[in-house]
């Protein structure tokens, strides 16, 4: 695929938690700009797989990783575990939405501004416009636009989930890792997020865990099922 | 905050953070150099065979043994007196008190924390005089009195650490217990406290350290320079910090000073041992609870 | 229980008031706030001691705060894992180092240094004492700081990590604001400890009764003053001033604590914290 | 020794408290007595002269130690009896590195009042003099002030240390310091200064040539009785007085 | 319905958070032993509605409730806000599964034993059997049976969710409040939980928030949609 270079590739990737093997010699090559769905039964290792691409598993527990993981960042392939690629830059370029929404214990506005704040962006106007744009994109602006100063932890489950999606989009990452991003949304909310992902297709590589076959049908370019530590392509 | 400030701050953190480590090293090294040579069994047991002293067959006069026992006993007694009220006070402040109460009582404990130990010692001393007038011949400065005064001294540490521990628990964890039908007390005892047991142990360690090293309080309420082994809680007793203080203020020759440094090392070790105990308790707790 | 200890505190304050009463009776109470202490000349001014106490406490806090925050951050965030454990153990250990030992070691090590290189004079000075005091109160603060940092929920940390925060950013934007109540308690207890400490200032501050012009000079704290005067005749006027000292000391503690709490109220961090934590709970 | 015979068959507890300077002698005596008669228990506490007098006056303890004479008021309120069992000289000391080793009373007064503020003026190094004083309540201080300084003014900027040991530590560490300690405490770490040509040594104190001296006192409420009497008698006995000498004081007998 | 007495009833129930109205004069009468589904867009107040029945909203925030809420507990209707019905008893009889799984930070086994411990049930054997039974019911026993001593917070999202369901069933409550109990489960896991709920039908009144129309079709006896503060029956 000449127009779409590889954005994510793994070689002989194995992962274990303590003694328990989760992934076993996974080889993967995913093109840039696609939406790739990952399915599989509960507890099989989908979330773990995602966290490998932004090295977040390192923050907790006693995981052990073997093999190579390469991501296309700034136009060239980087071996994120070998090359001395700075962790913080990596995580800024690879956005993540967690399975359980995790808004920060501050106001909604601050939650959205947080990623920009980390980048030393101080321009108030820019922050506000950008925040509103993202809120609109996840269709949250109508619901919470009038209480942007309220604490984000007081939002309802689905609102938190959408807020987290909006937050992860603030930096226009090249790669997005979404862990069941529509699990607490009703059908309509779900379709809206899918439309948003559609928009991002082409510019952003999206790796997305989902449980719904119909969702896969609707938006995924590719679909893998995780079974016994290996990925099996189903679409 | 730009990159440079960040770097600067990180560097500062490293510098500042390693300072205590360095200071402790210096202190220990210095003590070892000055007092290390006097650190032997004779320092603790004088010329009495260790077994005889431990079994109480023979009194130790010039050794640190009675002081060692006195301090250990004193710390344990103090903890026994202060632990329950301290924890209860913390729980009350964090979970039951109204905002006004919280403010007033909080201030109260802060003031207690700021009372100089010598004032508490004086209060204990006055109390002993009072008690002596009330019950002539029965009551004077003694270990129980010291423990009571020390308990008062360390109360704020226990209260505040418990309170801080409880306050820092996130709401989501806080409501899980009640949702399953835990009464308020059950929630506190079964979920909240165990989940922050390290914090509470931290407070206890602070309290132990404070009780073990205080000189001013015990000097006025029952610690003596020489008494032999204490026999009851209403007895006067020897204590390590007072011994060190007394040496440092009255040593007549270099050898005596060296014994003072040796005693400091012993007190150090004793504190270390008591902390080890606290850590084991903590580990046991968290293991039992988390598993 | 809390009531009980409250009563006890009030009892102690009352005791000091009652025992200090002769001063008021003799109309000497306000003479306390003069600058001369000379029992032979019937002058019982303790203003120098009051200033000494304040200076030492504030200085000690100033020195100790960065050190404590630094250590807590290292132990919780910045240092590699083995060092973290070492630090935590060290800190707990330091909590048990007897004050006398610090004083002792400082007399032999720090005082000559101060004398030769920093402040000249005798080396016994407010500055010297506050440096050592800073070390003394550090464990108290650090333990509370570490506990505070540790109690920040995992999910918040994950959120911040996944957004690419560097450790320092994580610390300043998330951890410190979240741990704020614990930090505050740590500072206040540390302050109390510094205020109430007797031996360090007695051994290192020089204890001169003159009004010190700078922190590099010898000065006396209220606590050291109590310790020095305690050998006097119990019913003498000098001795009576001890209780006045105790009262004034408590008064200052109250003032300092209240002002810290007020600062907290007006500080932005505090307001932000209030939004979501203890105060908003019913 | 025969002096311990009187304790035979005695039982009970004897409580002693007060000045820290007394503790070494008391401790040693108590050790001998308790070894001879294990049924006896003697506790020796510190706390300072004031506390000692207060405690013995209130009847909390049997013997109170004081490094100063009890004030008239103390004696009259409690009906105390004083026993002076040792004499302790108070000598001016400087750091061994200091070249100034002789002073006159007048010079001493000027030094302590701040008139002479540099060692240069006394033929020493060109450095400021660091004064070390004790607090007014200390027995050592009051005798030094009365007899050594002849009640001259003492500068308020003087550093004040809490005990003989602290004074020693301070002077031993400060090449430019001057202070005073109990003669028994003088050792190689500090250098005694001859005052008006007389060195502060035990011999000179004993002979009376060195005037700056004080008594060490034990007090009882009323006349000493029972164990307290036996104990005080023991201190005055040859064995007891040997102890006194061994600890660096001048015996009175 | 004579065979199925009313188990849950509300009269003129209104609820507001701060100034914001969430529920408006809701009148409801639900028969015992049924499965009642609640649907509605995100942020409309479904979770709030559930928390009204075990009074859990009182634990956080500044909610205000008006009207009557009656539940059938121990065979008689109790006005849970008026009668002095003990709060902890109420919550033991009314089980709840949260929208975001909230295992206690202790071992899996202890999590399950927790409700029994609250009832002062100490019988080790009973606790173990019961725990295993419940784990089997939510099909978690195979996955975690060999590591019951591991910390429950280390489980995957779906595992945590099932653990919480199992935990809420330990006391055999009369009323169950389930807030999107299958949101992080794959299709098969979802069907298994539904089968479990089917089993409970008849003995337990189940109030369940869900987003999936097909799930409603499969198991709900009744379905209400929450819209503008009112409940509209759709099934
Ligand atoms: N503690 C609180 N304080 C103030 N407002 C709150 C609080 N909790 C929830 N809300 C608001 O009340 C509304 C209803 O919240 P609720 O959680 O009941 O929604 P929900 O229907 O469960 O939505 P979802 O499907 O997204 O979970 C939301 O707009 C939310 O922002
Ligand atoms: N920190 C950890 N330590 C040990 N084991 C872990 C840890 N985190 C996850 N596991 C285990 O690894 C396995 C995979 O977990 P993961 O969260 O990746 O599953 P998942 O596929 O995302 O499941 P779900 O769909 O339920 O979210 C699970 O069995 C889980 O119990
Ligand atoms: Mg998952
Ligand atoms: Mg909800």
Residue nearest to atom 1 of ligand 1 (CA): E61
Q: Do D49 and C231 touch (CB under 8 A)?
A: yes
pLDDT tens figures, E5-23: 888 889 899 999 887 888 8
pLDDT confidence of residue C271: 38
Q: Which of E14, E48, E100 to mutate to test the pocket of ligand 1 (most atoms within 8 A of CB)?
A: E48
The whole-model pTM stands at 0.89
Q: How many secondary structure helices (H) and strands (E) does chain C include? A: 14, 2
Query: What is the pLDDT, as a whole number, of residue A163?
Result: 92
CA of A19 to the centre of ligand 2 (A): 13
Instruction: Tell me, yes or no, whether A1 lies in a domain.
Output: no
Minimum Cα–Cα distance from A117: chain B residue: B1
Residue environment code for A152-170, b if the CB has 16+ CB neighbours within 10 A, otherwise e: bbbbbbbbbbbbbbbbbbb
pLDDT recorded at residue E3: 62
Is the residue at A211 inside a domain?
yes
pLDDT tens for chain B, 291 residues long, are 677 888 888 888 888 888 888 888 888 888 888 877 777 777 777 666 666 666 666 666 677 888 888 888 888 899 998 888 888 888 988 888 888 888 888 888 888 888 888 888 888 887 787 787 787 766 777 888 889 889 888 888 899 899 989 988 888 888 888 888 888 888 898 889 888 888 888 888 888 888 888 888 888 887 777 777 677 777 778 888 888 888 877 777 777 778 888 888 888 888 788 778 877 877 777 776 655
Answer with the residue of higher pLDDT: B238 or A111: A111
Q: Mean pLDDT across the stretch C184-212?
A: 84
- Over residues E123-137, the mean pLDDT reads 90
Domain with A50, as residue range(s), is: 6-233
Q: What is the CATH number for A49?
A: 3.40.50.300
Helices (H) and strands (E) in chain B, counts: 14, 2
pLDDT tens by residue, D194-245: 888 888 888 888 888 888 888 888 889 888 888 888 888 888 888 888 888 8
Residue nearest to atom 31 of ligand 1 (CA): A155
- Asked if residues C91 and B20 have their Cβ atoms less than 8 Å apart, the reply is yes
- Nearest-CA residue for atom 1 of ligand 2: A61
Cβ burial, residue B138 (10 Å; 0-12/13-18/19+): exposed
Least confident range of A211-220, D38-47, E189-198, E214-223: D38-47
Residues D80-94 have a mean pLDDT of: 88
Given an 8 Å threshold on Cβ–Cβ distance, is C122 in contact with D157? Answer: no
Which of the residues A186, A187, A214, A223 would you substitute to probe the E interface, choosing the one with the greatest number of E C-beta atoms within 10 Å? A186
Residues in contact with ligand 2 by the CB-under-6-Å rule are A 17-18, 22, 40, 42-48, 60-61, 99; E 154-159, 184
Tell me what pLDDT residue E209 has.
92
pLDDT of E2 reads: 47
SS3 assignment, position D181: strand
Residue E161 domain flag: yes
A92 touches chain C (CB under 8 A): yes
Give the CATH H-level superfamily of domain C15-280: MetI-like (1.10.3720.10)
DSSP letter for each residue of E48-61:
HHHHHHTTGGGGSS
Q: Which helix (H) or strand (E) holds A10?
A: strand A6-17
Number of CB pairs < 8 Å for A and C? 61
Q: Phi/psi of residue E46, each to 5°?
A: -65, -50
Pinpoint the alpha helices (H) of E74-123.
87-93, 108-118
* pLDDT score of C32: 63
pLDDT band at E177 (very low <50, low <70, confident <90, very high): very high
Candidates D59, D60, D247; nearest CB to B252: D247
pLDDT of residue C43: 67
CA D135 to chain centre: 14
Chain Cα centroid distance, residue C52:
13
Confidence of residue A214 (pLDDT cuts 50, 70, 90): confident
Q: What is the pLDDT of residue C92?
A: 83
Q: Which pLDDT does position B35 carry in this prediction? A: 76
Does the structure show a pLDDT above 70 at E192? Answer: yes
Q: Which atom of ligand 1 is nearest to the CA of E45?
A: 18
The answer, yes or no, to whether residue C276 has pLDDT greater than 50, is no
- How would DSSP label each residue in A180-235? STTTTS-HHHHHHHHHHHHHHBTTBEEEEE---HHHHHHH-SEEEEEETTEEEE--
User: Mean pLDDT across the stretch E105-111?
Assistant: 89
Domains and CATH numbers, chain B: 66-290 (1.10.3720.10)
Using a pLDDT cut of 90, give the percent of chain E over it: 22
Q: Between C2-19 and C237-266, two packed helices, what is the crossing angle to 10 degrees?
A: 140
> Taking a contact as any Cβ pair under 8 Å apart, which residues of chain E between 172 and 231 contact chain B?
none
With CA atoms as reference, report the closest residue to B209 among B141, B161, B246, B256: B161
Question: Could you tell me if the ipTM is greater than 0.90?
Answer: no
pLDDT score, position A207: 92
Kindly indicate the confidence band of residue C282, based on its pLDDT and cuts at 50, 70 and 90. very low
Domain count of the fold of chain E: 1
DSSP D70: P
pLDDT tens profile C12-65: 666 666 665 555 556 556 666 666 676 666 667 778 888 888 888 889 999 999
Mean pLDDT of chain D, nearest integer:
84
The average confidence (pLDDT) of chain A is: 88
Per-residue pLDDT band for C274 (boundaries 50, 70, 90) equals very low
Going by beta carbons, is chain E in contact with chain D, meaning 3 or more pairs sit under 8 Å apart? Answer: no
Q: What's the E144 CA to ligand 3 centre distance in angstroms? A: 15
Give domain status of residue E65, yes or no. yes
């Amino acid at each position: 695929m000449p127009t779409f270079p590889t954005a994510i590739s793994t070689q002989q990737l194995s992962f274990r938690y303590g003694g328990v093997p989760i992934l076993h010699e996974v080889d993967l090559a995913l093109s840039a700009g696609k939406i790739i769905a990952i399915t599989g039964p509960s507890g099989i290792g989908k979330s773990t797989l995602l966290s490998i691409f932004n090295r977040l598993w390192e923050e907790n527990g006693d995981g052990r990783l073997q093999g190579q993981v390469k991501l296309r960042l700034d136009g060239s392939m980087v071996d994120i575990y070998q090359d001395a690629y700075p962790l913080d830059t990596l995580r800024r370029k690879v956005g993540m939405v967690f399975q359980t929404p995790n808004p920060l214990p501050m106001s909604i506005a601050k939650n959205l501004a947080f990623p920009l704040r980390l980048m030393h962006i101080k321009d108030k106007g820019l922050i506000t416009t950008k925040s509103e744009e993202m809120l609109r994109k996840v269709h949250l602006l109508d619901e919470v636009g009038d209480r942007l100063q309220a604490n984000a932890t007081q939002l309802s489950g689905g609102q938190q989930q959408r807020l987290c999606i909006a937050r992860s989009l603030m930096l226009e990452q090249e790669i997005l890792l979404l862990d069941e991003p529509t699990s607490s949304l009703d059908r309509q909310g779900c379709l809206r997020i899918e439309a948003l992902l559609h928009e991002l297709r082409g510019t952003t590589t999206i790796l997305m865990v989902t449980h719904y076959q119909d969702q896969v049908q609707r938006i995924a370019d590719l679909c893998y099922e995780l079974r016994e530590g290996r990925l099996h392509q189903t679409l | 905050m730009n990159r440079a400030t960040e770097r600067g701050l990180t560097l500062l953190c490293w510098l500042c953070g390693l300072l205590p480590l360095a200071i402790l090293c210096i202190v220990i090294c210095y003590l070892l150099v000055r007092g290390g040579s006097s650190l032997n069994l004779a320092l603790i047991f004088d010329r009495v065979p260790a077994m005889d002293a431990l079994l109480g067959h023979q009194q130790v006069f010039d050794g640190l043994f009675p002081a060692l026992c006195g301090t250990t006993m004193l710390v344990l007694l103090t903890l026994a007196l202060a632990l329950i009220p301290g924890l209860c006070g913390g729980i009350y402040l964090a979970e039951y008190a109204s905002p006004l109460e919280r403010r007033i009582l909080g201030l109260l404990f802060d003031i207690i924390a700021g009372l100089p130990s010598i004032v508490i010692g004086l209060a204990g001393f006055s109390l002993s005089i009072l008690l002596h007038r009330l019950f002539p011949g029965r009551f004077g400065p003694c270990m129980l009195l010291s423990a009571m005064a020390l308990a008062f001294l360390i109360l704020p540490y226990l209260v505040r650490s418990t309170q801080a521990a409880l306050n820092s628990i996130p709401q989501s964890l806080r409501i899980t217990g009640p949702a399953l039908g835990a009464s308020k007390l059950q929630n506190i005892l079964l979920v909240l406290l165990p989940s922050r047991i390290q914090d509470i142990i931290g407070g206890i360690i602070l309290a132990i350290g404070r009780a073990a090293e205080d000189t001013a309080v015990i000097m006025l309420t029952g610690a003596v320079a020489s008494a032999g082994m204490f026999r009851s809680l209403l007895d006067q007793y020897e204590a390590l910090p007072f011994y060190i203080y007394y040496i440092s203020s009255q040593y007549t020759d270099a050898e005596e000073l060296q014994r003072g440094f040796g005693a400091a090392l012993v007190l150090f070790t004793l504190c270390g041992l008591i902390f080890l105990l606290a850590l084991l308790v903590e580990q046991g707790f968290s293991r039992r609870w988390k598993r | 229980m809390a009531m009980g200890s409250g009563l006890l505190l009030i009892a102690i304050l009352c005791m000091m008031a009652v025992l200090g009463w002769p001063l008021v009776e003799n109309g000497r109470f306000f003479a306390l706030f003069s600058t001369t202490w000379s029992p032979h000349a019937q002058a019982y001014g303790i203003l120098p001691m009051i200033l000494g106490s304040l200076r030492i406490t504030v200085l000690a806090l100033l020195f100790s705060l960065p050190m404590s925050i630094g250590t807590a951050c290292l132990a919780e965030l910045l240092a590699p894992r083995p060092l973290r454990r070492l630090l935590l153990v060290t800190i707990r250990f330091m909590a048990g180092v007897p004050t006398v030992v610090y004083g002792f070691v400082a007399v032999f090590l720090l005082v000559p240094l101060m004398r030769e290189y920093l402040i000249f004079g005798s080396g016994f000075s407010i500055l010297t004492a506050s440096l050592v005091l800073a070390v003394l109160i550090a464990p108290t603060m650090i333990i509370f700081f570490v506990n505070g940092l540790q109690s920040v929920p995992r999910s918040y940390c994950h959120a911040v990590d996944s957004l690419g925060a560097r450790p320092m950013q994580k610390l300043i934007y998330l951890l410190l604001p979240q741990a704020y109540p614990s930090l505050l308690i740590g500072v206040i207890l540390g302050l109390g400890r510094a205020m109430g400490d007797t031996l360090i200032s007695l051994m290192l501050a020089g204890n001169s009764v003159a009004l010190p012009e700078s922190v590099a000079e010898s000065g006396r704290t209220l606590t050291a003053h109590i310790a020095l005067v305690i050998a006097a005749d119990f019913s003498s006027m000098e001795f009576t001033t001890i209780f006045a000292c105790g009262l004034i000391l408590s008064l200052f503690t109250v003032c300092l604590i209240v002002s810290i709490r007020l600062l907290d109220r007006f500080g932005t961090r505090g307001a932000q914290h209030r939004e979501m934590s203890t105060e908003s709970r019913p | 020794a025969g002096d311990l015979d009187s304790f035979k068959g005695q039982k009970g507890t004897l409580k002693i408290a007060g000045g820290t300077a007394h503790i070494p002698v008391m401790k040693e005596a108590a050790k001998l007595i308790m070894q001879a008669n294990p049924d006896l228990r003697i506790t020796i506490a510190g706390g300072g002269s004031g506390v000692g007098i207060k405690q013995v006056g209130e009847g909390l303890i049997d013997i109170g130690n004081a490094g100063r004479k009890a004030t008239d008021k103390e004696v009259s309120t409690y009906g105390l009896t004083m026993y002076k069992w040792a004499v302790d000289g108070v000598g001016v000391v400087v750091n061994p590195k200091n070249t100034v080793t002789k002073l006159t009373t007048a010079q001493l007064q000027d030094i302590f009042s701040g008139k002479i503020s540099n060692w240069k003026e006394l033929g020493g190094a060109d450095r400021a003099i660091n004064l070390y004083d004790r607090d007014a309540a200390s027995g050592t201080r009051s005798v030094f002030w009365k007899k050594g300084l002849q009640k001259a003014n003492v500068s308020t900027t003087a550093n004040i240390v809490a005990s003989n040991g602290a004074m020693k530590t301070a002077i031993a560490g400060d090449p430019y310091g001057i202070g005073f300690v109990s003669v028994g405490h003088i050792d190689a770490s500090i250098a005694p200064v001859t005052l008006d040509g007389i060195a502060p040594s035990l011999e000179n104190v004993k002979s009376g040539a060195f005037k700056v001296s004080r008594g060490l006192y034990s007090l009882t409420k009323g006349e000493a009785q029972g164990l307290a009497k036996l104990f005080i008698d023991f201190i005055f006995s040859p064995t007891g007085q040997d102890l006194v000498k061994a600890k660096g004081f001048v015996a009175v007998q």
